[in-house]
Amino acid sequence: MTITCFIRYEIDPFGKAAFEAYARNWGQAIPRCGADLVGYFAPHEGSATTAYGVYNIDNLAAYEAYRTRLAADPLGRENYEFAKRKKFILKEDRIFLKLASGPHAPPVKP
């Protein structure tokens, strides 16, 4: 069963450009380290402080292996350090979800 990781970020409203650079770096590192990146989403209209990252992974065991690879990846390490140095991420919440509906989910009779 594939699971989807949704990351909700609260970012500094003046840190949008830094977050976008951070997102572009993950756009390279995440797929290389084994997750199926859906994308990173920066504020555009409405809230200036809410951003998201979304990717799919096979299961929680695969997630743990992926996180190890990501921490060892040169761009991954550099990106973690960039975020710590610039302090544009104020809060980060991560949740794992499974697809419960959609055109490819089989119907279930109640």
Residue 107 pLDDT:
67
Q: What is the pTM of this model?
A: 0.87
Domain boundaries along the sequence of the chain: 3-97
Note whether 19 and 11 are within 8 A (CB).
yes
Residue 27's nearest CA partner among 12, 17, 38, 16 is: 38
What angle is formed at CA 8 by the lines to CA 2 and CA 12, rounded to 5 degrees? 155
pLDDT tens sequence across 7-49: 999 999 999 999 999 999 999 999 999 999 999 999 998 889 9
pLDDT tens sequence across 50-91: 999 999 999 999 999 999 999 999 999 999 999 999 999 999
Domain 3-97: give its CATH code.
3.30.70.100
Residue 5's nearest CA partner among 63, 61, 73 is: 63
User: pLDDT-based confidence at 101, cuts 50/70/90?
Assistant: confident
Of how many residues is the chain composed? 110
φ/ψ (deg, to 5) at 87: 55, 35
- Indicate the SS3 state at residue 44: coil
Element counts in the chain: helices (H) and strands (E): 3, 4
